[in-house]
Amino acid sequence: MLSAVSEVWSAGLSTLFEPSQDELVERLRPQEGDRWLDIGGLGGVAIRAARAGADVTAIEAEGPLVEQARRAADEAGVDVRLDLGNFEYLPYEDACFDVVSSHFGFVFAPDHANVAAELARVCCTGARLGFTAWKPNRQLGELYRTFTDEPIEGREAYEWGREDHVEDMLGDEFALDFHDGVLWLTADSGEEVWDLLSTTAPPVMTMRTRLDGERGEEFHRAFVELYEGYREDDGIRAPRRYLLVLGRRR
């Protein structure tokens, strides 16, 4: 699913993501020679870390995403090692990284406990961890529940946006620090937001494929109406709230 929309994701959301990518890298304080792993970020954080002198490895879950991240690194003129692999079973030795980052990346892997165990395993003692995760969105959650009671792909990713869940997953192995953030999704219309998120956001994509005929159109209309509620004089300006998590390997 992700490979089919990777180019749209990159083109449509790159500007939206720039502030959070900048903040994540700044807070992780890259140093010359840091052994740095970036998980599932399509190159944005990896490029920034490499520019600061870190020795960067980046991993993506699908081949087309590896190629997209490789093109981005080449265009930026930086050296980043690009790997293909499973975020739940990272193909690296124990304690081999000084920094691990993920910008809305590993949070979409289904098995949170496995991801947490792998993060702890590949980090050396004292390693710095930093990642971003979307916070639960009450309005979207209510909209989804109106149309289905079944689990939705990607919905569980929002659990990583809850401090208590992160503590449960990582608190034994990392000293954690939390920061709230907000990105602003701007568009000319709610329909434009639909065009973007229905081809890039896993929960919306799942709903789009699950609901047929009139029921699908009802969801489409309700989604557009929700985002039209964020209309200002110059168009749609909707907040996307996220949690930035920093950790230090114990």
Please report, for the domain that includes residue 58, its CATH number: 3.40.50.150
pLDDT at residue 97 greater than cutoff 90: yes
- Structure confidence at residue 3 as a pLDDT band (50, 70, 90): very low
Lowest-pLDDT range of 10-24, 27-41, 64-78, 171-185: 10-24
35 within a domain of the structure (yes/no)? yes
Q: Please tell me the distance from the alpha carbon of residue 105 to that of residue 98, in angstroms, as a whole number.
A: 19
142 within a domain of the structure (yes/no)? no
Number of domains in the chain: 1
Question: Which range, 62-71, 145-154, 187-196, 220-229, is most confident?
Answer: 220-229
- Structure confidence at residue 123 as a pLDDT band (50, 70, 90): very high
Give the angle 34-39-17 at the CA atoms, nearest 5°.
Answer: 100
- Predicted TM-score (pTM) of the model is 0.91
Q: Please tell me the distance from the alpha carbon of residue 237 to that of residue 10, in angstroms, as a whole number.
A: 20
pLDDT for the residue 154: 72
223 within a domain of the structure (yes/no)? no
DSSP SS3 for 44: helix
145 within a domain of the structure (yes/no)? no
| Domain limits for position 120 | 2-135+154-184+240-249
Give the pLDDT confidence of 109-121 residue by residue, as tens digits: 999 999 999 999 9
- Structure confidence at residue 13 as a pLDDT band (50, 70, 90): low
146 within a domain of the structure (yes/no)? no
- Write out the two tokens for 87: 């975020």
- Write out the two tokens for 148: 């289905």
DSSP SS3 for 205: helix
> What is the pLDDT averaged over residues 239-245?
97
92 within a domain of the structure (yes/no)? yes
Give the pLDDT confidence of 47-64 residue by residue, as tens digits: 999 999 999 999 999 998
Question: Which range, 13-27, 30-44, 143-157, is most confident?
Answer: 30-44
Q: Please tell me the distance from the alpha carbon of residue 188 to that of residue 37, in angstroms, as a whole number.
A: 37
